[in-house]
Amino acid sequence: MTIPVSSHPPTIDARQILDMNYAFAQTALLMAAVRLRLFTILAEIPLNAREIADRTHTDPQALERLLRGLRMLELLSQEGDVYQLTPLADRFLVEGKASYLGGDTLAMLDYIPAWFQLDQTLQTGVPYRDLGDVATAENFYAPRVRDLFPIVYPIAHRTAAELKLPHPKDATLQILDIGAGSAPWSVAFAQSYPAAHVTALDLPAVVEQGQQQTLALGLQDRYTWISDSMDTHTFPSLSYDLVLVAHVLRFISEERAKKILRALVDSLRPHGTLIVADVFLAEDRQGPKPAITLDLSMLVNTQQGQVRTWREVAGWLDTCGLQHAQSFHVAGPFPIVFAQKEL
């Protein structure tokens, strides 16, 4: 029996490639609206295009084209000639709200050039920059760490509320937060353990931002901030009940990470807990998508950083003296890794 073969090849739609080609346009749309403070303006009162143009000092006809784009992204809705925020924009793009993510949007101005040199990094082995370098990291993150707080804090808050530590909620915990940034992780645990005290360590310019964040939250009296590098700081032995290592290890080499972890394990008291919060690949390294994206980001933004699996990090903890590391998944796309120090 002869099976007829079609003379016409199957139709392959190019739209997926074209969407990829123009994916940057969505970022540019959002960035323009944030820089014009358009969402914050519309949070006060719905307006028509001319009224918005007056407040943003833009041309009304040109602005209408931007407004159509924001409707396409489902960030604005329209009734008649009046525009108003969608719930998504109202929650995350209005200045002054605790959930504001516009600062992270504007950070793309610095991230995009690194991505557009990905091919050069692959050919030369030289990244666009090295955020694992102390001076580079300090200059890059000091202006940004407070913008990261609303992204990380909800995940940290749920984790602190639901992870069972071997201490009652009224215990006078001593918490160490290294690479603290704006301190979303230690803030979450300090709120869950009202008698806890936090020692937070980061680079000097970053510490200034972390101090402002904890002051704004009324937690300044419960924090001791240390301006130093985690690589060179001497951590006191047997001093902490909880050590937090959040979004640090993916920026540095395995050797450097293990050296830091060994010092942190020594600083833990018996029954103390060490938590590693980070982005993790699945065990087969084929996902999830955000982890694959961040792994490529580490390629262009660090010399030796990369995204690992949680079991890899658990293995590091084992070699550093913390056995029986576990994953805990309660919020966000990735688990945390935690282990407790035995007697």
pLDDT at 11: 83
Measured distance CA(106)–CA(195) in Å, rounded: 37
Q: Residues 54, 197: one domain?
A: no
Q: State how many domains the chain has.
A: 2
Q: How many other C-beta atoms are found inside a 10 Å radius of the C-beta of residue 138?
A: 18
**CA distances to 113, 119, 291, 306 from 123, in Å:** 17, 6, 22, 18
Say how far apart CA 153 and CA 176 lie, in whole Å.
Answer: 17
Q: Are 275 and 337 in contact (CB under 8 A)?
A: yes
151, 264: one domain: yes
Please indicate, yes or no, whether residues 201 and 137 belong to a single structural domain of this protein.
yes
Asked whether residue 138 is domain-assigned, the answer is: yes
Residues constituting the chain = 343
My answer on whether 85 and 149 are in the same domain is: no
Same domain membership, residue 54 and residue 139: no
Are 169 and 160 spatial neighbours (Cβ–Cβ below 8 Å)?
A: no
Condensed to tens digits (0 to 9), the pLDDT of residues 284-337 reads 999 999 999 999 999 999 999 999 999 999 999 999 999 899 999 987 789 999
CA 200 to chain centre: 18
74 shares its domain with 187 = no
Give pLDDT, residue 330: 86
How are beta strands 82-85 and 280-281 bridged, if at all?
unpaired
How many angstroms separate the CA atoms of 281 and 298, rounded? 13
* Residue at 86 is within a domain: yes
Residue 143 and residue 218 share a domain = yes
Please count the other Cβ atoms lying within 10 Å of the Cβ belonging to residue 65: 10
With respect to residue 54, please indicate whether it lies within any of the assigned structural domains. yes
Domain of residue 319, CATH code: 3.40.50.150
45 and 192 assigned to the same domain: no
Instruction: For residues 332 and 322, give the distance between their C-alpha atoms in angstroms, rounded to a whole number.
Output: 25
First to last CA, the chain: 76
Give pLDDT, residue 9: 66
* Cα 138 from chain centre: 16
Place of tokens 């937060």: 177
As beta bridge partners, residue 176 has: 199, 243
User: What token pair was written down for 123?
Assistant: 């050919």
Among 80, 100, 120, where does a domain finish? Answer: 100
134 with 87, same domain: the answer is no
* Euclidean distance between CA atoms 283 and 181, whole angstroms: 29
**Helix (H), strand (E) at residue 244:** strand 240-246
Is the pTM for the entire model greater than 0.85? yes
The Cα–Cα gap between 76 and 68 comes to 9
Q: Are 88 and 159 contained in the same domain?
A: no
Q: What's the DSSP call for residue 4?
A: P
Tell me which of 100, 119, 149 is where a domain ends. 100
What pLDDT shows up at residue 10? 73
Q: What is the pLDDT along the chain (343 residues), one digit of tens a residue?
A: 565 555 666 788 899 999 999 999 999 999 999 999 999 999 999 999 999 999 999 999 999 999 999 999 999 999 999 999 999 999 999 999 999 999 999 999 999 999 999 999 999 999 999 999 999 999 999 999 999 999 999 999 999 999 999 999 999 999 999 999 999 999 999 999 999 999 999 999 999 999 999 999 999 999 999 999 999 999 999 999 999 999 999 999 999 999 999 999 999 999 999 999 999 999 999 999 999 999 999 999 999 999 999 999 999 999 999 989 999 998 778 999 999 998 7
The answer to whether position 136 is within a domain reads yes
Q: What's the domain range around 53?
A: 15-100
Residues 201 and 290 in one domain: yes
pLDDT at 333: 86
251 DSSP 8-state letter: G
Q: Does 250 lie in the same domain as 329?
A: yes
Last residue of a domain, one of 60, 83, 100: 100
Residue 82 maps to which CATH number? 1.10.10.10
